[in-house]
């Protein structure tokens, strides 16, 4: 009897967790009006704000020069690029110094911390920022020239304290897990972050995030010990009522690459999950004004625990349901999570089609097959990363596991079905996945 009750309770919990996740992923597609509202509005008039663009780079000599060149192509009239390099990374520093010598808008700041991580690098550069808005990018980013103009307009037209732009992994053709990774970003930045901003609680993305400099300094910058410094900053700013605006536009997104191996992806997700656990334990989210916001925050930040739990319980639940003699009603309940799984697969197939259409990429039948067949294996990987994160957090291991980049998103991709739409201030090559460096 106790076994049957346990199996039924776990199955119902898994069903509701999957249903909530699916509903949140579908947020932006509820109506055409909601979908249209998630995009940047067209800029009006000239730029009125100045920008300091922070570019932390550690062992990124292979991709850094391309990113700096792309940032310098911005159509905005007032910005600076601050490249942050480690004192023990001469190869990256050499690339950064060369960029500084070519263009007066580029400055190099050296991070002398013995133990290096991204938030420490960002905090090192914050006192050097001259702009009214601080923007953060990663060293492998491919940034659209018109992005700053759109962000400037978003700040001025909405009165936002923070503007979160879209980030999109683009090399979906590289591997089966790259396809799923790209689609995951598509749903997160295209839809779910808009829901979080609407609800007044948002774990910010790691880059293409812009914060008014005075707001950032009032918050004392980034937590130097947190493995998810972006999430932590978003939670702290949400908890004091700062206004966050999210915009995703396929023409304006910052393009990135997926991790180059499954091990690299596992370590990246471990770091993010562990960072969420750190933010949860800091309890800044408890200062959110409403019970609904606090409930959303608790559920979001506890995701690593939930993923670890499902990774352990789902196989056990299946074995119990198949091998033990349980009532028919309980056996039926155990298949409820499978219903949401099928619905999620259907939504993902539609989402992959939309992803290809928006980016002018040819999505073949083989890609849909990889999407569906790779789903269970990808969930196992995510569960493994969550379990590893919980284990590392319990052991007090907070070292930063760096994700290496090779520029896979800059390589020639499968032929597009149609060219991406043109945007004011951009050359056609700027909008193609195979745009030259």
The H-or-E segment that residue 246 falls in is strand 244-246
| Residue 67 to residue 153: CA distance in whole angstroms | 23
Beta strands 244-246 and 162-164, pairing class: parallel
Beta strands 79-86 and 51-57, pairing class: parallel
Show me where the domains of the chain are located.
1-437
Digitized pLDDT (tens) for each residue of the chain, 437 residues in all: 666 676 677 777 778 888 888 888 899 998 999 999 999 999 987 778 999 999 999 999 999 999 999 999 999 999 999 999 999 999 999 999 999 999 999 999 999 999 999 999 999 999 999 999 999 999 999 999 999 999 999 999 999 999 999 999 999 999 999 999 999 999 999 999 999 999 999 999 989 999 999 999 999 999 999 999 999 999 999 999 999 999 999 999 999 999 989 999 999 999 999 999 999 999 999 999 999 999 999 999 999 888 887 776 666 666 666 666 666 666 666 667 777 888 888 999 999 999 999 999 999 999 999 999 999 899 889 999 999 999 999 998 888 876 655 555 555 344 333 333 333 333 333 333 333 32
Inter-residue contact 199 to 291 (CB < 8 Å) = no
Inter-residue contact 215 to 134 (CB < 8 Å) = no
What pTM, to 2 d.p., does this model score? 0.86
Residues 6+ apart with CB under 8 A from 111: 56, 84, 85, 86, 87, 120, 121, 124
Distances from the Cα of 158 to the Cα of 46, 203, 218, 243, angstroms:
16, 20, 21, 9
Fold type of domain 1-437? Spore Coat Polysaccharide Biosynthesis Protein SpsA; Chain A (3.90.550)
């Amino acid at each position: 009897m106790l076994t049957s009750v346990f199996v039924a309770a776990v199955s119902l919990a898994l069903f509701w967790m999957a249903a909530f996740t699916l509903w949140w992923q579908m947020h932006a597609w509820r109506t055409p009006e909601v979908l249209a509202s998630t995009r940047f509005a067209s800029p009006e008039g000239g730029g009125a704000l100045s920008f300091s663009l922070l570019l932390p780079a550690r062992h990124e000599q292979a991709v850094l020069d391309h990113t700096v060149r792309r940032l310098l192509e911005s159509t905005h009239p007032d910005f600076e690029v601050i490249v942050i390099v480690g004192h023990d990374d001469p190869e990256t520093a050499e690339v950064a110094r060369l960029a500084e010598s070519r263009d007066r808008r580029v400055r190099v700041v050296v991070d002398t911390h013995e133990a290096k991580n991204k938030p420490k690098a960002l905090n090192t550069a914050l006192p050097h920022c001259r702009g009214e808005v601080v923007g953060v990018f990663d060293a492998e980013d491919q940034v659209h020239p018109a992005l700053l103009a759109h962000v400037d307009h978003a700040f001025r037209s909405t009165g936002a304290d923070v503007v979160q732009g879209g980030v999109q992994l683009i090399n979906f053709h590289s591997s089966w897990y790259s396809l799923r990774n790209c689609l995951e970003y598509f749903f997160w930045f295209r839809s779910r972050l808009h829901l979080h901003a609407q609800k007044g609680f948002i774990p910010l993305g790691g880059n293409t995030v812009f914060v008014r400099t005075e707001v950032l300094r009032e918050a004392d910058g980034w937590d130097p010990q947190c493995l998810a410094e972006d999430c932590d900053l978003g939670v702290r700013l949400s908890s004091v009522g700062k206004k966050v605006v999210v915009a995703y536009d396929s023409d304006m997104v910052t393009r990135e690459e997926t991790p180059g191996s499954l091990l690299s992806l596992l370590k990246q997700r471990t770091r993010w999950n562990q960072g969420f656990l750190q933010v949860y334990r800091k309890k800044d989210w408890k200062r959110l004004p409403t019970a609904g916001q606090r409930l959303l925050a608790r559920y979001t930040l506890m995701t690593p625990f939930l993923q670890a739990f499902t990774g352990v319980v789902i196989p056990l639940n299946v074995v119990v349901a198949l091998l033990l003699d349980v009532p028919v009603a309980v056996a039926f309940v155990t298949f409820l999570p499978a219903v949401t799984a099928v619905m999620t697969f259907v939504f993902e197939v539609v989402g992959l089609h939309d992803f290809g259409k928006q980016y002018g990429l040819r999505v073949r039948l083989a890609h849909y097959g990889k999407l569906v067949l790779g789903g269970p294996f990808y969930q196992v990987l995510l569960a493994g990363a969550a379990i590893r994160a919980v284990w590392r957090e319990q052991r007090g291991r907070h070292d930063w596991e760096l994700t290496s980049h090779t520029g896979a998103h800059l390589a020639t991709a499968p032929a597009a079905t149609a060219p991406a739409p043109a945007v004011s201030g951009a050359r056609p090559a700027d909008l193609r996945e195979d745009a030259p460096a």
